[in-house]
Structure 1
Amino acid sequence: MRFPAWLRVHLAAVRALLVLTAVLGVAYPLAVFAAGRLPGLDGHADGSLVTSSGRTVGSELIGQSFTGADGEPLGRYFQSRPSAGDYDPAASGASNLGPEDVVDTLPDPALAAAGEEDENAAQSLLTQVCERSKAVGEFNGVSGARPFCTPGGAGAVLAVFGHRTPDGTVPHPTRVVSVNEAQGAVKAPFVASYKGVKVDLARFGEDYAKGLIVPVRGDAPADPAVPPDAVTASGSGLDPHISPAYADLQVTRVAETRGVPAARVERLVQQNTTGRALGFMGEPTVNVLKLNLALDRAYPSR
C-alpha cells in the first residue's frame, strides 16, 4: 500500500523520533552510567566523595569550612581559602570585584546601633583582603600586615579634595578623608595627615566621588607573611586546595593545638601535596580535606 506523500513525510519523522529517542534517550545514558560504574571510575562519577569511619565527610573537589558551632575557625584544623559563596555548591561563583574596587559603602550607624544589618553596605575587595589578612595573621601568630591596608584591617584609601592639575594630581589639598574608616567605628584615621592636611574619618552618607582616590601603600613588606590564597577566593568559590605556602603558615598553630611536634605535621603536609600536572602545568597544591583527615588519623585532637 502506497501512502500519500504528505503522510510518508510524517511517518519518516516519527521513525526518526523513535530511533533517536532509543539511541540518545536510552542507550547513550545507560552506556554512560555503565561506564561510570567501572572500577576506578565509580568514585569520580559519584562526585569524588570522601568517607571517614563509614560516613561521608566531603568531596575531593569541593572546598568546605572547618569551623565550630560558633562559626569560628577551629585551631586544630588547616583552614581552606575564602569562599565568595560560603562553600555552597549551589552558590558557586566569584565576587566579580576587580582590583580597582577599593572604596567601601559604609553601613548606616543608626542600624548598627540598633543591632541591625545594613543591606546597602558593602566592603570593597581591598578591605575584604585587608580584613582577612589581619584575621589570618592573628589566628596563626604572624603579622597580617600587607600593602595598602590599615592596621585595623581596612583598605588604606584617601579621598583628596582640592584643585587638580592637568596630570590628575592634587598638589595642595584642601580636605582629605580616609574613606574606609567611619566615624564611630575607629578612633583615628590610619594616617594623621596628608601633604600637611589633617585627615578626617569618613561620615555615613557623604559622597566622596569628587575627591581624588589615593590608595596608600604604607610600610608593610612587599612579600606579606599571609599568602594571597589565604585572603582571596577562587573563581568558583569552591576550590578544595590551598598553596603549600598557606599550609606551611598554619603548621605551627595546628601542631601546638594538637600537642605534636611541628615536624610531624609538616611531614603530613608534604605527603598531601600534589605537584604540577604533567610536571609543568599549574602550581603545587594541598587538598585541605584530605590533609585534615590525615591529621585526625595520625594525631587525634585531645
Structure 2
Amino acid sequence: MTAAVRTRRFLRGPGVLAGGTVLVLLFLLAFVGPHVCGWTYSEIDYTALRSGPSAEHWWGTNRIGQDVFAQTARGLQKSLVIGLLVAFFATGVAALVGACAGYFGGWADRILMFLVDLLLVFPAFLIIAIVSPRLKSGGWLAFVGLLAVFGWMITARVVRSMTLSLKEREFVRAAVYMGVGPFRVIWRHVLPNIASFLIIDATIAVGGAVMSETALSYFGFGVQPPDISLGTLIANNTAAALSYPWMFFFAAGLLVLFVLAVNLVGDGLRDALDPTARTKRAKRRKDHR
C-alpha cells in the first residue's frame, strides 16, 4: 500500500478530521496562547480575585488573581510536552527490547522477558508516587523518566511476537546469509516492518501518558510547584468546581478533549496502516452482540 493510499484512507476515517482539528487547536492554545493573552501564568492581578470571564481576563481569574487562560495554557503545554516525551521514550525502549528479544532468542530473550515480567508485577502508580517526591531536584524531566520506565512493557511483548514472525521471512534470512550484522538487520528490516504498529502505539500512548501525568499531579506526585500542569490545576480548583466553575472546567474540559482527539486520530491511523483493523473491530462488535 502506497503512502498516498494510506493518507487518503487516514483522512477518510470517521472522526479523524475532527480529532486532528482539535489536536491542532489544542497545540496552538498551549504554545501560542501564552504569548497573546497579555498575562503570564504566575502574574497576579490583585484587583480581580475569583473574577469571571471578561475582556481583561478571558477565562476569569483564580482565588489569588492569576489569569485562568494563561494558567490553563501553561498547564496544557506542560502536560503535552510530558505526554509526547513519555510516548517517544517508552515506544523507543519497547521497540529495542522487543525486537532484540524476538530476534536473538535464547538467553537474551529469557533475560529481557524476565525484566518485562518483573516490571509488570510492580505497582507502577505506587512506585512513582513514592519515588517522584524524592527526585524534585531533577524537575519534571525526572518525572518523564519515571513514567517512561513503566510504560513500555506491553508494547515490547507485542514487538517481540511480531519480530519472531518477521525473522523467518525471506528478506530477513537473505540479509543474514549475506553477512549483515544482527543489529543492522533489526534496524533496516525488522523495525521498518513494524513501524505502523509503533506509530499507532506511540500516538495512543501520548493520551495515556497525559492521563497518567494528570492523575499523579492531581495527588501531588507529579509536576511540582511553582510549575503547573493540567493535573495540578484540576487538583487545586476541584473545590471551586461548583462555586467558580471557570477555575475548574476549562482545565478539565481540555483534558477530556485531548484524550478523545488522540483516540480518534489513533483509530484513523490504525485503519490507514492496518487495512484489516476495521474489519476486525466490526467482527468483534458483531460477536459481542
More contact order relative to length (CA 8 Å, sep ≥ 6):
2
Higher Rg? 1
The interval holding the TM-score normalised by the smaller chain is under 0.3
More helix by share: 2
Which structure carries more strand by proportion? 1
TM-score (norm 1): 0.24
**Normalising to structure 2: TM-score of the pair?**
0.24
